[in-house]
Amino acid sequence: MIFFCEREQNNMVIATPSVTVVIPTYNRREKLSRALRSVLAQTYPITEIVVVDDHSSDDTEAVVREGFPDVTYVRLPRQSGAPTARNVGVDRATSEYVAFLDSDDCFHPVKIEKQVTALLSTKAGFSTCAYQTPSGRRYKTEVASPQMLLWKNALGGTSGLVARTELLRANPFDAEMPAVQEWELYLRLVKRASFVHLTSPLYTYDDGGSDRITAQKVRRLEGHMRLFARHPSPPGFGGLRSRTLRALTVRYLQAPNRVTQRVYGVGLKVLG
């Protein structure tokens, strides 16, 4: 498999393959509007935007239909989670490529242009990129090899992903994963296609502050457990597994209640 890591792409886009941007959302009407405006501000022509509403209880539908009439709006009949929403968006896409954007994140204006340029020049199957936070902190990941993904998610979140539509349809997000779905997807994609990672931050990731981070810890931990069980590390790449096992042990001993202890206990059995 060919691996590419590009620092900058200064080439002009000669061909203009079609791109669909898929935005899963749930009860984020205000942030969704900001995300949509960032897509409309792209220097590269976007063929279509598909918003997949994961059964929101606010007026998300009105925000999209009244404020962005050219956007395709899809409402799920029941709350199913972001991975399912992304898969539905891919199924609805009519373009050669699909880009994802979480509804609380924002694209930088040149994001799609730079990634399409990289995809065309390398003939890769998918592209990822670095990102920054609203405070301006940059996460400029250097990816040494595809095997690094067995150590950590070095490619970032789904808002950085642009991929061939046919590749995503053959390899959908796993809706059973409670967290780190993008990491699990990357581990499958690198076995089937080459990729190019841009180290320039091309989108802003909104971490939601400390409350959201705290609320996600248990789900992310469970996601890590399932990921390690499905993608065991080969010899020489067991460091993350070992560190996670040690962290689980400490958290299990410090867990404030029995529910949390059960979650950590399952993790110890999976990784032990």
Predicted pLDDT at 239: 58
pLDDT band at 221 (very low <50, low <70, confident <90, very high): low
The predicted-structure confidence for 48-84, as pLDDT tens digits, reads as follows 999 999 999 999 999 999 999 999 999 999 999 999 9
Between residues 151 and 94, which one has the greater pLDDT? 94
User: Which tokens hold the place of 152?
Assistant: 């950590």
Q: Give SS3 for 128.
A: strand
Average pLDDT over residues 198-210: 83
Query: Three-class SS of residue 72?
Result: strand
Predicted pLDDT of residue 27: 96
CATH of 3-207, one of 3.40.50.150, 1.10.3720.10, 3.90.550.10, 3.40.50.10610: 3.90.550.10
Predicted confidence band of residue 256 (pLDDT cuts 50, 70, 90): low
Q: Pick the more confident residue, 53 or 176.
A: 53
Mean pLDDT of the chain: 83
In this model, does residue 207 exceed pLDDT 60? yes
Question: What average pLDDT does range 13-41 have in this prediction?
Answer: 94
Chain centre to alpha carbon of residue 141: 15
- Name which of 7-11, 44-48, 151-155 the model is least confident about: 7-11
Confidence (pLDDT) at 150: 73
What was the pLDDT predicted at 2?
42
Per-residue pLDDT band for 211 (boundaries 50, 70, 90) equals: very low
* 271 pLDDT higher than 70: no
Q: Is the pLDDT of residue 151 over 50?
A: yes
* Alpha helices in the chain, H assignment, sequence order: 29-40, 60-67, 82-92, 111-122, 165-170, 181-189, 209-230, 239-254, 258-271
Residue with the larger pLDDT of the pair 7 and 159: 159
Per-residue pLDDT, 210:
42
Share of the chain above pLDDT 90, in %: 58
Q: Identify the band that residue 215 occupies on the pLDDT scale cut at 50, 70 and 90.
A: very low
Q: Which residue has the higher pLDDT, 171 or 208?
A: 171
Give start-end residues of each CATH 3.90.550.10 domain in the chain: 3-207
Helices and strands (H, E) in the chain, number of each type: 9, 10
Contact 175, 81 (CB under 8 A): yes
* Whole-number pLDDT of residue 267: 53
**Three-class SS of residue 185?**
helix
